Amino acid sequence: MATAAELTDWDLRHFWHSFTQMSEYESMIIERAEGCWLVDVHGRRYLDGVSSLWCNLLGHRHPRIEAAVAEQLGRLPHATTLGMGNVPAVELSRRLAELAPGDLNRVFYASDGACAVEAALKIAFQYWLQCPQPRSGKTKYLAYDSAYHGDTLGSTAVGGIERFHALYRPLLFDVLRLPPPDARTGDAAFHLAKLEAILQQHHAEIAALVIEPLLQGAAGMVMQPPGYLRGVRELTKKYDVLLIADEIVTGFCRTGRMFACEHEGVTPDMLCLGKSITSGTLPLAATIATDEVYAAFLGDYTTGCTFHHGHTYAGNPMAAAAACATLDVIGDERVLEETVPRLTERLARALAPLQEHPHVGDIRQLGTIVGVELCADRATGALYPPQERHGYHVCKRATGQGVWLRPLGDVIVVMPPLSISDAELELLVSVLTQSIDAVCK
């Protein structure tokens, strides 16, 4: 078995990490985890304050989910879903269709959220070529500045975070854009007027609008005004534009409902899911389409209307078994009815003292999703120069004190597993506060 020193050497020599400037990377290698804790190869423990990038919904190594994966491993580790199904994926499809709003009944699997969005974009394009009243001119997409939908070329194109995507612009298709529907810059009517103006002018060429419901996650947990999502659905129907809801972050209880769309009674034409779907156990994602969208892909083989898209491990039986077990735990342990409301209140109470911190400009919370925004001066609202990377340094200092956090610029994300205890939450907020004090003094 490799030593910690050997692993560190190989990590630095060979492992190219995502979203990481490798010239300044300091090796951190996780060996095991349990509950809300990660343990590295040196035995150091870290409280997982961001659920391992917003995935680990129910805590690491939940025994029921592990047991489901182990049992499935003994039955069928993998089988293709091209032209065949497998028992866990079929069962999961039925359960997702029952949980999703409206007539979102048709489940198409992927391995991660970006690929779920990619599939939705291609489905929307093909739908307008094959629907009962085809409109071949509907080839563009409407999306938002500061949005994040993944890093494939299609999902990058509809993303709107300059520092992630500007370099690849020559490779991307053109997208019509709206400013972020930020509740701080206007109410629902204000932002919906902007949307209707662009739909009036361009609806004949727009295949779909892509939105993160209720909040823009990677933008810094930017909250939308109440009623905006409902208005978006009404306007997209009015102007005959498909609505793609990216719930890769907000899906599976985090916001206080199973899906964020439910808060405003919205049924999109496609719902993209990922991250928490297996509680961070195995890679899986899904694009759920309405019956109407699905029907446009049915026909004789010679018509060519098949959806020619799919990934090798999409619908993997072990991942599907983990997802089914995750749904079992959510139901049996009353996660949505009891755990989420309790944690939502505990988070708000624990973070309340930071509301008055001289270097905290805002705390944005939706259910168990929180963004703590740093600022140079609370009184004036002045922000730090981005190149000073205060968010990065706050999180680095917290890591040194045994709490793992990740920033979005100068917004610190707090999104722990739903299983976090009161004592663990107190530790998380205490270390966060101390780290802000030390870095922003």
Does residue 254 sit in the same domain as residue 358? no
Does residue 397 sit in the same domain as residue 318? no
Q: Are 262 and 250 in contact (CB under 8 A)?
A: no
For 182, phi and psi rounded to 5 degrees? -85, 125
Which amino acid appears at position 174 of this protein?
Answer: D
Instruction: Count the Cβ atoms, other than its own, within 10 Å of residue 300.
Output: 7
Does residue 349 sit in the same domain as residue 233? no
- CA distance linking residue 211 with residue 325, whole number of Å: 28
Which helix (H) or strand (E) segment holds residue 332: the answer is helix 317-332
pLDDT at 164: 84
pLDDT at 11: 97
Strands 242-246 vs 270-273: parallel, antiparallel or unpaired:
parallel
Beta-carbon contacts of 313 under 8 Å, excluding residues fewer than 6 positions away, are: 78, 111, 283, 319
pLDDT at 87: 98
Alpha carbon separation from 435 to 13, 289, 329, 400 (Å, rounded): 31, 44, 35, 10
Does residue 352 sit in the same domain as residue 267? no
Domain boundary among 272, 301, 332: 332
Does residue 370 sit in the same domain as residue 358? yes
The tally of domains found in the chain comes to 2
Alpha-helical segments (H) within 38-135: 51-54, 63-73, 87-99, 113-130
Q: pTM for this one?
A: 0.97
Beta-carbon contacts of 91 under 8 Å, excluding residues fewer than 6 positions away, are: 320, 324
- CA distance linking residue 287 with residue 93, whole number of Å: 11
- CA distance linking residue 441 with residue 426, whole number of Å: 22
Domain boundary among 332, 367, 386: 332
- CA distance linking residue 310 with residue 320, whole number of Å: 16
Token representation of residue 403 = 């709490």
Beta-carbon contacts of 107 under 8 Å, excluding residues fewer than 6 positions away, are: 92, 93, 96, 97, 286, 287, 288
Does residue 314 sit in the same domain as residue 341? no
Which amino acid appears at position 198 of this protein?
Answer: I
Digitized pLDDT (tens) for each residue of the chain, 441 residues in all: 899 999 999 999 999 999 999 999 999 999 999 999 999 999 999 999 999 999 999 999 999 999 999 999 999 999 999 999 999 999 999 999 999 999 999 999 999 999 999 999 999 999 999 999 999 999 999 999 999 999 999 999 999 998 888 899 999 999 999 999 999 999 999 999 999 999 999 999 999 999 999 999 999 999 999 999 999 999 999 999 999 999 999 999 999 999 999 999 999 999 999 999 999 999 999 999 999 999 999 999 899 999 999 999 999 999 999 999 999 999 999 999 999 999 999 999 999 999 999 999 999 999 999 999 999 999 998 999 999 999 999 999 999 999 999 999 999 999 999 999 999 999 999 999 999 999 998
- CA distance linking residue 141 with residue 176, whole number of Å: 6
Q: Are 337 and 296 in contact (CB under 8 A)?
A: no
Q: Please choose, from the candidates 41, 122, 78, the residue with its C-alpha nearest in 3D space to the C-alpha of residue 318.
A: 78
Token representation of residue 386 = 């981005």
Does residue 373 sit in the same domain as residue 315? no
Per residue in 176-233, pLDDT (tens digit) is 999 999 999 999 999 999 999 999 999 999 999 999 999 999 999 999 999 999 999 9
- CA distance linking residue 169 with residue 15, whole number of Å: 27
Which residues belong to the annotated binding site for substrate?
A: 148, 275, 310, 406
Domain boundary among 291, 307, 332: 332
- CA distance linking residue 381 with residue 157, whole number of Å: 32
Residue reference for tokens 């209307």:
305
For residue 44, how far is the Cα from the chain centroid?
28
Does residue 242 sit in the same domain as residue 140? yes
Q: Please choose, from the candidates 426, 377, 428, the residue with its C-alpha nearest in 3D space to the C-alpha of residue 401.
A: 428
- Where residue 116 sits, what CATH number does that domain have? 3.40.640.10
Does residue 101 sit in the same domain as residue 226? yes
Which residues belong to the annotated binding site for pyridoxal 5'-phosphate?
A: 113-114, 246, 311-312
Per residue in 342-384, pLDDT (tens digit) is 999 999 999 999 999 999 999 999 999 999 999 999 999 899 9
What is the residue range of 307's domain? 65-332
Does residue 219 sit in the same domain as residue 239? yes
Does residue 14 sit in the same domain as residue 132? no
pLDDT at 163: 84
Does residue 373 sit in the same domain as residue 328? no
Which residues belong to the annotated binding site?
A: 113-114, 148, 246, 275, 310-312, 406
- Where residue 41 sits, what CATH number does that domain have? 3.90.1150.10
pLDDT at 166: 86
